[in-house]
Structure 1
Amino acid sequence: MTARPSAADRVGDRVVIIGGGIAGLATAALLAHEGRRVTLLEQHDVVGGRAGLWESDGFRFDTGPSWYLMPDVFDHFFRLLGTSTAEQLDLVTLDPGYRLFAEQGGPALDIRADGRANRALFESVEPGAGAALDRYLAGAAETYRLAVDRFLYATFAGSGPLLDPAVLRRAGRLARLLLEPLDRYAAGFVHDTRLRQLLGYPAVFLGTSPGRAPSMYHLMSHLDLDDGVRYPLGGFTELIRRIAALAESAGAELVTGARVTAIRTERGGSRARGRRARATGVEYVDAGGRTRVAEADVVVSAADLHHTETQLLPPSLRTHPERVWERRDPGPGAVLAMLGVRGALPELSHHNLFFTTDWEAGFAHLDGSRRGFGAPAGIPDPVSLYVCKPSETDPGVAPPGAENLFVLIPVAADVSIGRGGVDRTGDRLVERTVDAAVEQIGAWAAIPGLADRIVVRRTVGPDDFAQGFNAWRGGALGLAHTLRQSAFLRPGNASRRVDGLLYAGSSTIPGIGLPMCLISAELVLKRLRGDTTAAPLAEPLRRAPAGERVP
């Protein structure tokens, strides 16, 4: 049941949100829709954060997220705001959902939009694997529903979600799923290397490796192998545009070019609470270079959690001081390439995965525990990588007769790898990494002369993530979903030292990815309401009349 309003809820309505990525925008939309006075401060000239847009010579590139999974989470979010996904986005179901190229060679494997076709594919590769996939996906669907119903929408401010009868009945199975790594779990169903990789690769989206991710995350396979993969026409910046518009229409003020430099606090007056500090607003530098103050009753940081704790708060008020971060896993970094290519590329699908045979050796490079002889630190060679070709689905992202490619190369979260640039102006190691990836894509997918057909090129390195998004150690995604950084063991969304200071985004609960960031915004609202239930909020949110508050 819902508890009485929290202390943060009682002190007033003024909310300042730090960061205009999807988590910050979604938080602004929900809180403004409920009737709070919301100001969002974004350091860049446009909102979107990692989900940005870069345009050159008729090419339009999404600079970050490119997979649309967990559609039920998007549906729920839009319904909370009194609208629907269908009203806001033009979604296309991809078929094939994605294509796998393997280092060992052989025909590429297409994952279809039809679950029966995927079972047939598994069976064609390995006799008996079709039935094994049925069993695997049945467990994945059950775990997914349990996660959505009992964990993902929980703030863990109380012990209720962990003591839920539905959870306790499955305690034995959950313990196994938490303690057994994903790759070992998948190996119990199929033996072919490529099939095991298809079941294990979602760990990469969670910022870790199949050997370190709890097998609980096999639930992700339900999303792509059964539920399908979608794409919003116009790209993921269209999703950002729609959420920003919903926030503004609800009354939120979105301020760009505003770099927050400190969270302001004062000591409270309650003896019972030990005169704890409480948030009173933020200091920021505006687009004109002037230092300003935005007063608030509640501050929500949707910025990088490490940056928030170690740069915006004094040492005495840090819930997560520097010594804590020494024991945490930042997840991988990334080298990105946005490539405009002359001519058609029928060899590639919308989403493409390129997997090395010994991919655990590659993952070891990412955490620094193993290096190949002569290989640069933190960069596997060869590398398992991802290529998105949105021009397969969306003609508006490339000129006629050309293709749009977005390449993601996982590397260590290490700013020394450097920064990228336009037309080979990036740091040497970043540009060399992209050159090797282009050569690998051309060889594995049988695309002769791919490098010579590139007419637009921009690269991004780990130091770009650090400089542009204050990302801890230059990580690309957020804290890795290892056992110690998942569910209730992940950093919570409320400061333990500052009342009225809450967190949203990929480094807090529930975790990495666009759907998780939408849920993190909802968890902020639940904290403010004092709601300790594990269920999603009722749809739609009841908007307060002018001058009134929703209890």
Structure 2
Amino acid sequence: MSPSARPRTIVIGGGIAGLASAALLARDGHEVTLLEAHDTLGGRAGFWEADGFRFETGPSWYLMPEVFEHFYRLLGTSAAEQLDLTLLDPGYRVFFESDPDPVDVRAERAANISLFESLEPGAGAQLDRYLTSAKETYDMAVDRFLYTSFESFRPLLVRDVLTRMGRLARLLLQPLDRFAAGYFRDPRIRQILGYPAVFLGSSPDRAPSMYHLMSHLDMNDGVLYPQGGFTRLIESIVDLARAEGVTIETGARVQAIRSGRAPARRGGKAAVEGVTYTNAAGAVVQLDADNVVSAADLHHTETQLVEPGKQTYPEQWWQKRTSGPGAVLVLLGVSGELPALAHHTLFFTADWADNFDRIFGKTTSVPNPASFYACLPSATDPGVAPAGSSNMFLLIPVPADTGIGHGGINGAGSATVEGIADAAIGQLAEWAGIPDLAERILVRRTIGPADFADDLNSWKGGALGPAHTLRQSAFFRGANVSSHIEGLFYAGGSTIPGIGLPMCLISAEILLKRMRSDVSTGPLPEPMPARPRSPQPR
């Protein structure tokens, strides 16, 4: 390829990370083709429709709004132009096994300080201190750790990091649950502050207390919801990618990432050549490229698409890593309204430690009763259910174990998956005081860990990706570039910076920075200048 030619880049995977990566790279002058195995785009942020109900099968919390805003502004637009965002108040409701009265976490800091004071004398002032620490930690993470590829550590050797090294070490080495216990005695408060670890694919006793920054997101910033759901979010990024000139091909299942022979010199890398994939018509296609970006599951990419001997993360590397939890999803169309539930509702068992040990311990089993999450988008978005009905889905964390089985429609899933669903429905009905819930179900579908493995190539059938433990956070997490194949890069929740929609958008940006050899630690300037897209001679 001549120096003046546009680099040809293939992106594997049409989830949010792949779409965002494709859009940013195209704006930066790459000729981008995105290959998605399924007929629809969105990856984990998928959807399913039945009998007038539209269910989302993936992410449901809109947190870190400034990350979404920054991504849109890079592409010359804004969240306000792309989305209709609603602030949820309460941000979420919590039911406790040991307490008949639910707790509503509010949209504003002052209201949450008053709430905590009502739960434990003196806890209001302590929450004020806790949230101040959370914001300071979050700001430092954004400035120094989230938007870097860790290609070089030199930019981290700056005053604001060096003067905080002692505190950073404590936040990395002390678990989140012990950190919260240093502020509060009430077990309900500790559970509220510890549960965000689950968003990171971990547990409060395994996630570093660095992640108390998560409480800044819901208790300072508040929780938002995009009307039309996260399907609308994906649609907006698809539109932006296409506007930047990205070619998107669905029904294109990649079989292999092709690369040449490594040079004989010691430490030499092979060069990426492109991919081999099967298209929607069943034909085998070889597509050449200068770069390949896999936004698919990193375990699948490395162990199935990259040939042995060129794998940066072979199977033996994964054997020493910890998966985030699996999940059973239960999609329910229900007649009538469910006023006992908020848009987001959490159900916490009293034996918190046992619940997480069953999911993450050496010997795993399905918790019963389980701590789980219920989402009621019809409380905010009338378009997701027929008039007079409710749209609800449950997410029950379970071990990352494909042996738990597949889900199905109207009870057709594995006995284990359907049993988990029945238990959660019964538990919700009892705790929230909806005794006739089961009788009111009009539509039911379950999704199990085996579905995550089959549909998303998810490692061990996990619902999220590698857990955010100390050994799997920041520069200890999988890097976004191959060590053995020049021109092979990664994006998405299984690489840096980690799990969640905002992290996936950031992963697209630090991918671009890696390809530019940009070792800066902060977000890129807004907007990105659009480079010429007209083809040039090769």
Task: Determine if the TM-score, normalized by the shorter chain, exceeds 0.5.
Answer: yes
Quick one: structure 1 residues 30 and 340, their matched pair in 2 at CA, closer, same or farther if it must change by over 3 Å?
same
Shift of 1:10: 9.3
Aligned match for 2:326, one of 324, 330, 333: 333
Aligned match for 1:302, one of 274, 290, 295: 295
Distance 1:276 1:230 in 2: 45
* Paired position in structure 1 for 2:312: 319
* CA shift digits 1:281-335 (9 cap, x unpaired): 0000111111101111000000000000000111100001111111000110000
- Structure 2 gaps of 5+ residues are none
Distance 2:65 2:223 in 1: 9
Whether contact under 8 Å (1:365, 1:380) holds in the other structure is yes
Distance 1:547 1:289 in 2: 31
**Matched ranges for 1:270-419 at <5 A:** 274-369=267-362, 378-419=365-406
Distance 1:150 1:342 in 2: 49
* Paired position in structure 2 for 1:424: 411
> What amino acid does structure 1 have at the position aligned with 2:19?
L
Whether contact under 8 Å (2:245, 2:533) holds in the other structure is no
Whether contact under 8 Å (1:25, 1:243) holds in the other structure is yes
* Paired position in structure 1 for 2:214: 220
> What amino acid does structure 2 have at the position aligned with 1:136?
Y
* Paired position in structure 1 for 2:21: 27
**Identical positions, percent:** 61
> What amino acid does structure 1 have at the position aligned with 2:420?
T
* Paired position in structure 1 for 2:9: 15
Shift of 1:162: 3.2
* Paired position in structure 2 for 1:202: 196
Aligned match for 2:249, one of 248, 255, 258: 255
> What amino acid does structure 2 have at the position aligned with 1:437?
A
* Paired position in structure 2 for 1:128: 122
Distance 2:159 2:474 in 1: 18
1:437 counterpart = 2:431: no
Whether contact under 8 Å (1:18, 1:40) holds in the other structure is yes
1:101 counterpart = 2:95: yes
* Paired position in structure 1 for 2:76: 82
- Structure 1 gaps of 5+ residues are 1-6, 371-376
Distance 1:546 1:194 in 2: 55
Whether contact under 8 Å (2:13, 2:34) holds in the other structure is yes
> What amino acid does structure 1 have at the position aligned with 2:475?
F
1:508 counterpart = 2:495: yes
1:456 counterpart = 2:443: yes
SS of the equivalent of 1:185 reads helix
Distance 1:121 1:174 in 2: 29
Q: What TM-score, normalized to structure 2? A: 0.98
Distance 1:164 1:86 in 2: 35
Whether contact under 8 Å (1:12, 1:297) holds in the other structure is no
Whether contact under 8 Å (1:11, 1:297) holds in the other structure is no
Shift of 1:369: 3.1
SS of the equivalent of 1:16 reads strand
* Paired position in structure 2 for 1:139: 133
Quick one: structure 1 residues 548 and 292, their matched pair in 2 at CA, closer, same or farther if it must change by over 3 Å?
closer
Aligned match for 2:477, one of 486, 490, 494: 490
Q: What TM-score, normalized to structure 1? A: 0.95
Whether contact under 8 Å (2:6, 2:535) holds in the other structure is no
Shift of 1:21: 0.4
Whether contact under 8 Å (1:16, 1:299) holds in the other structure is yes
Aligned match for 2:185, one of 191, 194, 199: 191
SS of the equivalent of 1:24 reads helix
Whether contact under 8 Å (2:252, 2:279) holds in the other structure is yes
Aligned match for 1:111, one of 105, 111, 115: 105
Quick one: structure 1 residues 274 and 218, their matched pair in 2 at CA, closer, same or farther if it must change by over 3 Å?
closer
Shift of 1:358: 1.3
* CA shift digits 1:169-214 (9 cap, x unpaired): 1000000000000000000111111100111110000000000000
SS of the equivalent of 2:422 reads helix
Q: Once superposed, which parts of structure 1, at least 4 consecutive aligned residues long, lie more than 6 Å away? A: none
* Paired position in structure 1 for 2:227: 233
Whether contact under 8 Å (2:334, 2:443) holds in the other structure is yes
Whether contact under 8 Å (1:35, 1:548) holds in the other structure is no
* Paired position in structure 1 for 2:238: 244
* CA shift digits 1:465-493 (9 cap, x unpaired): 00000001000000100000000111110
SS of the equivalent of 2:101 reads coil
Whether contact under 8 Å (2:269, 2:483) holds in the other structure is no
Shift of 1:545: 2.2
Distance 1:369 1:361 in 2: 12
* Paired position in structure 2 for 1:373: none
Shift of 1:35: 1.9
